[in-house]
């Protein structure tokens, strides 16, 4: 099945769930992440500020920032994400796709990142990731690869599929929550 069709199918699955149901499922997924050995031991973690149809990471970011360095992606062009340190909710602004993004300097020391938590439209058991089709995270994952940063895909359980077709530019994640 083509990626475009898979995206449509997953979107249809999401529509079957109320916002309250998605938030309830989010809490379970976030707890799973917070109890994960890699997350617990991480001093610097790359998270993402979730969109409404993704597992909600907003409170997670605040809790994690109390004890860890939290890094968040910022859309800086049609093709690229830049990483920035999360410092406070007051230092966030709406960016591309209406996502809240941290202001400030670019974070470029990828060797400091102990774990990268990556969103996706869907994942399979081999770590193949289906994104939204723009390649932002594939390019980011490619940049993280030389630093050996462990990557963890985060999605709702109904977004875990048996197989996702992959192409040479697609980058797998190491684990899926």
Q: In whole angstroms, give the CA distance from residue 87 to residue 103.
A: 9
Task: Give pLDDT, residue 94.
Answer: 78
Q: Print the domain residue range for 149.
A: 3-176
Q: 1 pLDDT band (50/70/90 cuts)? A: low
Task: Answer yes or no: is pLDDT of 40 > 90.
Answer: yes
Share of the chain above pLDDT 90, in %: 68
- Statement: residue 30 has pLDDT above 80: yes
The pLDDT score that the predictor gives to residue 77 is: 82
Tokens of 66: 């109390």
- One-character DSSP codes across 39-105: HHH-SEEE-----TTS---HHHHHHHHTTSEEEEEEE-SSS-EEEEE---GGGEEE-GGG-EEE-SS
Query: At 82, which CATH number?
Result: 3.40.50.10420
Q: Is 3 exposed, middle or buried (0-12, 13-18, 19+ CB in 10 A)?
A: middle
**Closest to 25 measured CA to CA, from 137, 160, 129, 116:** 160
In this structure, are residues 129 and 153 in contact, taking their beta carbons and an 8 Å threshold? yes
Predicted confidence band at 52 (pLDDT cuts at 50, 70, 90)?
confident
Mean pLDDT of the chain: 91
Burial class (CB in 10 A: 0-12, 13-18, 19+), 151: buried
Mean local confidence (pLDDT), 113-124: 96
Cβ neighbours of residue 7 closer than 8 Å, sequence gap 6 or more: 121, 130, 132, 133
Q: What angle do CA 56, 61, 64 make, to 5 degrees?
A: 130
pLDDT given for residue 57 in this prediction: 96
- Tell me what pLDDT residue 32 has: 96
Percent of the chain scoring above 70 in pLDDT: 99
pLDDT digits (tens, 9 = 90+) for 3-28: 888 899 989 988 899 999 999 999 99
The whole-number average pLDDT for the span 100-116 is: 92
Number of domains in the chain: 1
Q: Is the pLDDT of residue 31 over 90?
A: yes
The model carries a pTM of 0.91
CA distance 164 to 124: 6
pLDDT tier, 102 (very low <50, low <70, confident <90, very high otherwise): confident
């Amino acid at each position: 099945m083509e990626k475009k069709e898979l995206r449509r199918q997953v979107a249809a699955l999401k529509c079957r769930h109320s916002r309250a149901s998605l938030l309830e499922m989010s809490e379970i997924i976030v707890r799973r992440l917070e109890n994960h050995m890699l997350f617990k031991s991480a001093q610097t973690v790359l998270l993402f500020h979730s969109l409404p149809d993704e597992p909600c990471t907003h409170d997670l970011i605040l809790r994690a920032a109390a004890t860890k360095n939290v890094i968040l992606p910022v859309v800086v062009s049609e093709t690229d994400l830049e990483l920035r340190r999360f410092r406070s909710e007051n230092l966030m602004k709406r960016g591309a796709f209406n996502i809240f993004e941290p202001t400030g300097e670019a974070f470029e020391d990828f060797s400091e990142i102990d774990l990268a938590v990556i969103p996706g439209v869907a994942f399979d058991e081999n770590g193949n990731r289906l994104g939204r089709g723009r390649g932002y995270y594939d390019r980011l994952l490619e940049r993280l690869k030389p630093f050996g940063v462990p990557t963890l895909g985060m999605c709702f359980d109904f977004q875990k599929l048996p197989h996702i077709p992959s192409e040479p530019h697609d980058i797998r994640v190491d684990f899926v929550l």
